[in-house]
A and B are shown apart, each in its own frame.
Chain A
Amino acid sequence: MPEHLDFNSDNESFNKKRQFRFRLYVAFIFTLILFAILIARMTQLQWLEHERYQGLAEGNRISIETLPPTRGKIFDRNHILLADNQPVYALKLIREKMDNINATMLAIQVILDNVDPKRVHDFFQKFKKRNRSKSYTLPFSFSEEQAAQFAVISHKHPGVTLTARLKRTYPHGASAVHALGYVGRINQKELKKLDPKAYRGTDIIGKSGIEKYYEDVLHGSPGIQQIETNVRGRVLRKLETLPAIPGKDIHLTLDIELQQFAESLMGEMRGAIVALDPQNGEVFAFVSTPIFDPNLFVDGIDHKSYNALLHNPSRPFINRVINGRYPPGSTTKPFMALGAIENNFISPNKKIYDPGYLVYKDHRYRDWKRTGHGLVDMNKAIVESCDTYFYELSLDMGIDNIHDALAPFGFGSHTGIDIHGESKGILPSQAWKREVKGKPWFRGETIISSIGQGYNLTTPLQLARATAILANRGKVIRPHLVRSHKTEALEQIEIKKISNWEKVIKSMENVMHSKKGTARRHATHLPFKMAGKTGTAQVFSLNAGDYDADMLHEKLHDHSLFIGFAPVDNPKIAIAVIAENAGSGSKTAAPIGVKVIEKFFQLYESETYYPQQNVTANNHED
């Protein structure tokens, strides 16, 4: 002990010790007195009033049981059911009451012929070690027929009761899985964050998509039922009930028919299609391929199927609509052009000579067309997708002006869709590069940025939204999947000259309908005018965190992109299509986009748009 702590050497210290010990005695006696009070209390309860409590313990058998709420259903915009609750049967097991666990297990294995017997066995191994008096539910559901089979032999298996419950089902299977999401068993991590009262009696929770985002709405709140039981815990009668409040139904803006049509167009390809209403942001189709069946997850997916999906080289779990980050390629050009003419960097009529390349600092930046496009004005630059025009333009503008022109269209920021975890993409600027890469900006990078390559990354949803904003002439819509009844006040992009917007849109119309347009082949038969832009994105090595398409096979193929909207004058639908490694935009993505739009008008406005259109307005020269 240090010197200053040693108090034993003087009288005062001795006195102090004596006083301290006196207080120790006081404390200990105090302790004993209070323990004596506890023992007196126990004597009262356990001896004097024992008989009364004994009676209560045997007679009083009112317990409280939770009634789990019914989960809200999900419908598409035409009230077609997308997520339903179907009654299924399950077995509840109480170990204490079972005679022969192994015999019961064998019987169950025989009846459950659709489940690997080993999984049943594994459950029983765990079950044998758990609380012997609690009831556990076998995590496999029984069909009506299987339930009937068990009912016949149930008298041989005490401690096992057949119960009915509601199981989440997705009648359209894999369709729209990335929008709907799915429910699954609550895991440990979720358990920590949940309000245990609200989830009493519930073992599933929304895991992704709408099911997760609107968990609070869909879940509802549990009810309570008092149950009188006898000493053995058998239910005698049900008393007072506080009914559960079911979750609310949700109506989506999706059209399942359009969705399935769009999914079928993608075939085996990887990619995404987003179609939305440019006036209010309602999403009509939300396609990310490949798709997978959410029904697998409801009762817990087995490891084999899960691993097969997880390690599938096409990565079906990735929600490409919000997490696929792709270089926008030439689809960025209409936005670039609009930014340039609105801010007077170039006049729409000014012609630039394109020899097929631009030389900057001894480096030759090639146009996709080796021979060049000759004299090019803005219209031609968009219609023929001339790269050199935008190379030159970008050097005049500089990356920060490009950034400021594109940012209002939502590139590089969240769209605010009602699904968790969307990616932001990248809209580069000098400040961005300094902050993220810690390096200064090079002007050569501006050149490739102008055609949507380089650092530029965008999600299909961002691209569709930007297209919608262009289509509706500057109304900044927020894409959303759940129909909302209140109309949001929309921000409006400042329009300097509306004719600039009309010129860009006219050029996009020419992409589809003029004889030189990159997508002219696909729109000839259309009875209405649409606007569009193709894109063919070179696959650079991205250091993308979320999803890196070039990690996949065929990785050297270009991504095929298309954006478009229709009709030109009063847009009802805007679309973005991305097909990974599928070659040029005009070959793959554009026809898909056109077909989806065509289907949309067949479904919704066939009277208005199909018969008696002014055919002469179209260019059929191709």
Chain B
Amino acid sequence: MKIDLPKTHKMYRKNKGFLEAMHIDGWLLLGILLLLATSLAVVYSASGGDEAVMTRQAIRIGIALTIMFIFAQIPPNIIYIFTPWLFLMGILMLIAVLLFGDIGKGAQRWLEIGPIRFQPSEAMKLVLPITIAWLFAHSKFPPSFGRLVLGTALIALTGSLIVVQPDLGTSLLIGLSGLSVLFFAGLPWKVIFTAIAGVILSAPVAWHFMHGYQKQRVLTFLTPESDPLGSGYHIIQSKIAIGSGGIDGKGYMGSTQAHLEFLPESTTDFIFSVLAEEFGLLGVIGLLMLYSFVIARGLYIASQAQDNFTRLIAASFMMTLFVYIFVNIGMVSGLLPVVGLPLPLMSYGGSSLLTLMISFGILMSIHTHKKLLSK
């Protein structure tokens, strides 16, 4: 990665192209569009050639791209000003969910306001890291102990409001996105290693507090074959799909696992298995390269950001994206427990796509709203 600062800036000043004027980052957009196009193709195949499903997803992609574009127009300092209020609102909505939330699949994740139905925890995926970045916008490197404690407290508050919904998976992932900001803000290494050791040691305690279905998932993860027609079914069928794909895959629309309906939720959480079955190891490597390209570009944007607030946001968003990809693929390939998480930019569905595209919009805004330096 190149860190040659002054040159880049000169280039921006001189040739302010069309995309730049529209506050769009071309490389990032290219990566995103390639992923979304792949997504449409695989969703179409996974649904067994259901045009209605593909049309809906295409419409969602269109809306999400538009919203990304809108967010790219908002200068980061505006976000900075509103951050405390957004956080406050997010926390209040999480509390509202606990009080009045709609119960879907046994967890109260949805809030209904008139005709709109949404998950406040989805919004928190963005708001929490932004808030932690806001907290460290002015701090030294490494930051003061007090500030780190405050940051950890905000993460813990948000995480615990989500974990009681109950949604352990999302809670952990949102917590991780907040922690990644702490990492980039300069959390001392010794604290990091101590914390990792602590988590490993406290695993038995966490086990004690898990819900029955969560314990079941962990057990199934450890020995999926013990329950081949119950909860282990998903993982076994997913591994069969991936493994039978081989090196070059069964070809597009060739996923028998999805088409004969052995693979559950083939268009959403298990979309990766369909891709792996149809395009094989080569397809998988291609997909991971595309993801790496997007993450690298995002981290580059972070490295070029002019202030602490924006660089923390950019870096944290990319780490969050990475964690989601890793957890989903790890899950469907049997490396991690089944946590019910979509694959970013690939799975069928609207709300996670929207959150992601907003984060890309903010990333583009960070990259294209830089003030020319006086130096």
Contact = CB atoms under 8 A, between A and B. Distances in A.
Contacts of B281: 42-43, 46-47
Given A38-B326, A45-B333, A56 B244 contact: yes
Contact of B256 (A7, A34, A231): A231
B279 to A, nearest CB: 10
A6 to B, nearest CB: 7
Interface string B253-281: 00011011110000000000000100011
A134 B257 contact: no
A112 B239 CA distance: 45
A57 B247 contact: no
Interface string B36-72: 0000000000011111110000000000000000000
A58 B246 CA distance: 14
A35 B286 CA distance: 12
A570 interface: no
A129 B3 contact: no
Given A15-B141, A131-B49, A133-B260, A5 B77 contact: yes
Interface in B19-50: 47-50
A50 B243 contact: yes
Nearest to A230: B260
B234 to A, nearest CB: 12
Interface in A1-59: 1-2, 4-8, 12, 15-16, 19-21, 23-25, 27-28, 31-32, 34-35, 37-39, 41-43, 45-47, 49-50, 52-54, 56-58
Interface in A102-143: 129-134
Among the interface residues A41, A42, A52, which one has the most CB atoms of the partner chain B within 10 A? A42
B214 interface: no
Contacts of B3: 21
A62 to B, nearest CB: 7
Contact of B184 (A20, A35, A47): A20
B273 to A, nearest CB: 10
Given A24-B184, A24-B299, A28-B299, A41 B307 contact: no
Contact of B242 (A46, A62, A231): A46
A38 B329 contact: yes
A64 interface: yes
Interface of A, helix, strand, loop or mixed by DSSP:
helix
A238 to B, nearest CB: 14
Given A27-B183, A46-B245, A229-B260, A60 B240 contact: yes
Contact of A16 (B52, B240, B308, B371): B308
A38 B333 contact: yes
Nearest to A135: B261
A42 B141 contact: no
A56 B247 contact: no
Contacts of B1: 25, 28
Nearest to A46: B281
A15 B142 CA distance: 11
B296 A45 contact: no
A29 to B, nearest CB: 11
B307 to A, nearest CB: 4
A50 B247 contact: yes
Given A5-B137, A7-B308, A21-B3, A42 B50 contact: no
Contact of B241 (A43, A50, A57): A57
Contacts of A6: 306-307
Contact of B246 (A1, A19, A28, A47): A47
A46 B77 contact: no
A226 interface: yes
Nearest to A233: B260
Among the interface residues A8, A12, A226, which one has the most CB atoms of the partner chain B within 10 A? A8
Contacts of A606: none
B284 A39 contact: yes
Given A8-B373, A49-B243, A54-B243, A131 B141 contact: no
B322 A31 contact: yes
B311 interface: yes
B333 A52 contact: no
Contacts of B306: 1, 5-6, 8
A1 B52 contact: no
Interface in B274-319: 276, 280-281, 284-285, 288, 291-292, 295-296, 299, 302-303, 306-309, 311, 315, 318-319
Contacts of A27: 180, 183-184, 299, 315, 318-319
B50 A130 contact: yes
A526 B197 CA distance: 93
Contacts of A130: 50-52
B335 A41 contact: yes
A163 interface: no
A19 B303 CA distance: 11
A7 B311 CA distance: 12
Contacts of B330: 38, 41
A484 interface: no
A371 interface: no
Nearest to B284: A42
Interface string A361-397: 0000000000000000000000000000000000000
Interface string B216-246: 0000000000000100010000011111111
A62 B229 contact: yes
Given A16-B141, A20-B141, A133-B48, A46 B186 contact: no
Among the interface residues B53, B137, B288, which one has the most CB atoms of the partner chain A within 10 A? B288
Interface in B317-343: 318-319, 322, 326, 329-330, 333, 335
Interface string A245-286: 000000000000000000000000000000000000000000
B138 interface: yes
A8 B375 CA distance: 10
A63 interface: yes
A250 to B, nearest CB: 28
Given A24-B303, A34-B326, A45-B239, 18 more contacts: A5-B308, A5-B309, A7-B307, A7-B308, A25-B1, A35-B291, A35-B292, A54-B246, A60-B240, A62-B229, A63-B261, A63-B262, A129-B52, A131-B48, A133-B259, A133-B260, A133-B261, A229-B260
Going nearest first, the 6 A-B pairs with the smallest beta carbon separation are A53-B243, A131-B48, A57-B244, A133-B259, A133-B48, A16-B141
30 contacts: A1-B77, A1-B306, A2-B80, A5-B80, A6-B307, A12-B140, A15-B141, A16-B186, A16-B308, A20-B141, A20-B303, A23-B183, A27-B315, A28-B299, A34-B326, A35-B292, A38-B326, A38-B333, A38-B335, A41-B335, A42-B333, A46-B245, A46-B247, A46-B284, A53-B239, A57-B241, A61-B260, A130-B50, A133-B49, A231-B256
Interface of B: 1, 3, 47-53, 76-77, 80, 137-138, 140-141, 180, 183-184, 186, 229, 233, 239-247, 256-257, 259-262, 276, 280-281, 284-285, 288, 291-292, 295-296, 299, 302-303, 306-309, 311, 315, 318-319, 322, 326, 329-330, 333, 335, 371, 373, 375
Interface of A: 1-2, 4-8, 12, 15-16, 19-21, 23-25, 27-28, 31-32, 34-35, 37-39, 41-43, 45-47, 49-50, 52-54, 56-58, 60-64, 96, 129-134, 226, 229, 231, 233
